[in-house]
Amino acid sequence: MKDIIELKREERGNGDILLELKDVKKNQIIKQYLKSGEEKPHIIYKLDISKKKMVYYIRDRNLPDELKTIFVNGYSKRPDGFKKYGQGFTGGNYLLYVLDEKFKDKISKITISKDDKTKFSKKKDKYEFTINYKDFKLINTNLWNISLERAPRSKNAIINHLHNVLPEYFDEKMLEDGFTYKKGELSKILEKNKILENLDKNDIEAINKFYMEFIHSGQMINDKEKIIQITSNKTEWVKIELEELIKTFEKNMDDCLKNKKKLESFWQTFLKQYIILLTKKYRKIIEKNNIKTGKTKIPDFMLVDIYNYIDIYEIKTPITSVLAKLPDKGRGNYYFSTEISKAISQVENYIYELTINAHAKQNEFRNEYGIDAKIIKPRGYIIAGARSQLKNRKMEDDFRLLNNGLKNVEIIFYDDLLANLKHFLERLGDKSKKE
């Protein structure tokens, strides 16, 4: 009986051969890699199945010989994290490079252990380094993720250069974003020292933009007891951002009223982004695509206030006619226009359906969005038209009577939203002066 038997042979297209052998006498699995044209194979690892010990041999010319042999304890098969052909760790050999830089030639042995804690043991003038497998795996995974993010950046650098010299062959559309945010990264950055004093203009502008988007997202509120609103912010740049929002709102309104541009879809997107700031009493948006109903028309979105009560919003445009003067032999009264009447009916129908299915809807919001919603007499709001449509006192009075006469619904003019935002900015300015 042969002491060494061949278990598996894998021949690659370039002539290289990967062999898996078994030393029957020693009960060892031996993995070898024979490169084409070479006589002596490289031993990738030797695995003692019964003792659960492995020795992994790294092929890396950048490492000193004493760091190329890795001892692994506690496993009866090769654990994850080691490259198939012996090049080292799947996330790269940076752990070994760091050890080499720190200790130079003073590391005599490296062990990756399933059970032992990560530690250094000094013997005379040498060190033995033991790393727990969980620590090793975490480092390896982080390095692998970094390499995945670095790959698109490297590709983009190549495409950028080739686009400049050969634009007919390499289009800018080939560029990739390549960035995926991973939870916890921002907190790690913010915990570092000396960030504020090293910010440049681009950093500050990016932070300002992100902060406003963060406010609009409604994620600032962590629990019922700890409610953080924009009014608690005392810095000057918040006012600057509000002024920019007011300018953008005014420009969009002006373009819509004068040129009859900006469709409902535009205003739905715009208000979805800023409604939390414009109303200042809500913390979260549930969009149309995420709302399940029966046959009732779906509202544009629902808002969850700081106490988890639900309200409904339907969005029209600033040029939507709110009032109409119908033939009336009496006093020439004004009525809601056909479009607004339809919108009122749609919102009332949804309020009705939401109310009679309150229990099911509350479960849906809890299971799908993590919100303990309260569906108690929800209000409906229709944002439409502009107060400038009210040309005389009679129109103003009739609109007030009609709007106040609605049971569950309220019509809000676009320029009223804008006026409220300006008033809020004024109060914020007054508060800053007092402080």
How many whole angstroms separate alpha carbon 126 and alpha carbon 420? 72
How many whole angstroms separate alpha carbon 363 and alpha carbon 333? 45
Q: Given 3-state DSSP classes, what are the helix, strand and coil percentages for the chain, each rounded to the nearest 5?
A: 45, 20, 35
Q: Are residue 115 and residue 178 in the same domain, yes or no?
A: no
Q: Are residue 28 and residue 107 in the same domain, yes or no?
A: yes
* pLDDT of 359 strictly over 50: yes
Beta strands in 74-134 (DSSP E): 107-113, 119-123, 126-132
Q: Are residue 328 and residue 259 in the same domain, yes or no?
A: yes
* pLDDT of 222 strictly over 50: no
| Residue of 275, 265, 260, 308 whose CA lies nearest to 412 | 275
How many whole angstroms separate alpha carbon 389 and alpha carbon 132? 72
Per-range mean pLDDT, top range of 207-216, 261-270, 286-295: 261-270
The pTM (predicted TM-score) of the whole model is 0.49
Q: Tell me: the pLDDT tens digits for 7-34? A: 888 888 788 888 888 888 888 888 998 8
Paired sense of beta strands 282-287 and 69-73, if any: unpaired
Q: Are residue 123 and residue 180 in the same domain, yes or no?
A: no
* pLDDT of 229 strictly over 50: no
Choose one of 213, 232, 262: the last residue of a domain: 213
- The crossing angle, in degrees rounded to 10, of helices 201-217 and 264-279 is 90
* pLDDT of 168 strictly over 60: yes
Mean pLDDT on 181-200: 76
The predicted pLDDT at position 69 comes to 95
Q: Are residue 276 and residue 237 in the same domain, yes or no?
A: yes
Q: Are residue 158 and residue 11 in the same domain, yes or no?
A: no
Q: Are residue 258 and residue 285 in the same domain, yes or no?
A: yes
Q: Which residue has the higher pLDDT, 258 or 112?
A: 112
Mean pLDDT on 314-333: 81
pLDDT band at 181 (very low <50, low <70, confident <90, very high): low
Mean pLDDT on 126-154: 86
Q: Is the dihedral of CA 351, 352, 358, 362 positive or negative?
A: negative
Q: Are residue 201 and residue 297 in the same domain, yes or no?
A: no
Phi, psi of 230 (to 5 degrees): -65, -25
Q: Are residue 110 and residue 195 in the same domain, yes or no?
A: no
Q: Which residue has the higher pLDDT, 434 or 206?
A: 206
pLDDT band at 434 (very low <50, low <70, confident <90, very high): low
Report how far Cα 168 is from the mean position of its chain's Cα atoms.
35
The boundaries of the domain holding residue 109 are 4-143
Mean pLDDT on 388-394: 91
Q: How many domains does the chain have?
A: 3
Paired sense of beta strands 53-57 and 42-48, if any: antiparallel
Q: Are residue 309 and residue 361 in the same domain, yes or no?
A: yes
Q: Are residue 239 and residue 252 in the same domain, yes or no?
A: yes
Percent with pLDDT over 90 in the chain: 31
CATH of the domain at 294: 3.40.91
* pLDDT of 233 strictly over 50: no
Q: What is the mean pLDDT of the chain?
A: 82
Choose one of 143, 166, 196: the last residue of a domain: 143
Q: Are residue 297 and residue 428 in the same domain, yes or no?
A: yes
Phi, psi of 271 (to 5 degrees): -70, -30
Choose one of 102, 118, 143: the last residue of a domain: 143
* pLDDT of 357 strictly over 60: yes
